[in-house]
Amino acid sequence: MYTIALGRNGDKVTESTQDSFDKLKTDRAYREYKNSRKDKSHLSKYPQSVEPSDYYKYLESKALWNEN
């Protein structure tokens, strides 16, 4: 989730207190976002399907597969 730049010798760059603070703020904002996504009781549910077209029904009737 976080990118850490490496120095020439492969050493990790020292993390400053500002970086730690930014990470805390980011984590907190993400937690709040996830919590806000959970409550969807105000939404009503609708079926997410459509009626098959006449052409689809025709093709389905001409198909040669076995239905078990």
pLDDT digits (tens, 9 = 90+) for 59-68: 888 887 656 5
| CB of 4 closer than 8 Å to CB of 13 | yes
Question: d(Cα 21, Cα 19) in Å, to the nearest integer?
Answer: 5
What is the extent of the structural domain holding 24?
4-8+10-36
pLDDT (tens digit per residue) in 20-41: 778 889 999 999 888 877 767 7
Residue 12, strand partner residues: 6
pTM for the whole thing? Answer: 0.34
Domain tally, the chain: 1
Q: Where are the alpha helices (DSSP H) in the chain?
A: 17-38, 54-62
Residue 58 in any domain: the answer is no
> How many C-beta atoms surround the C-beta of residue 34 within 10 A?
9
Q: Is residue 45 part of a domain?
A: no
Q: Does 60 reside within a domain?
A: no
Residue 66 lies inside a defined structural domain of this protein: no
Residue 61: both structure tokens together: 């009737």
For residue 61, being part of any structural domain is answered with: no
Given this model, what pLDDT does residue 29 score?
92
Are residues 63 and 55 in contact, defined by beta-carbon separation less than 8 angstroms? no
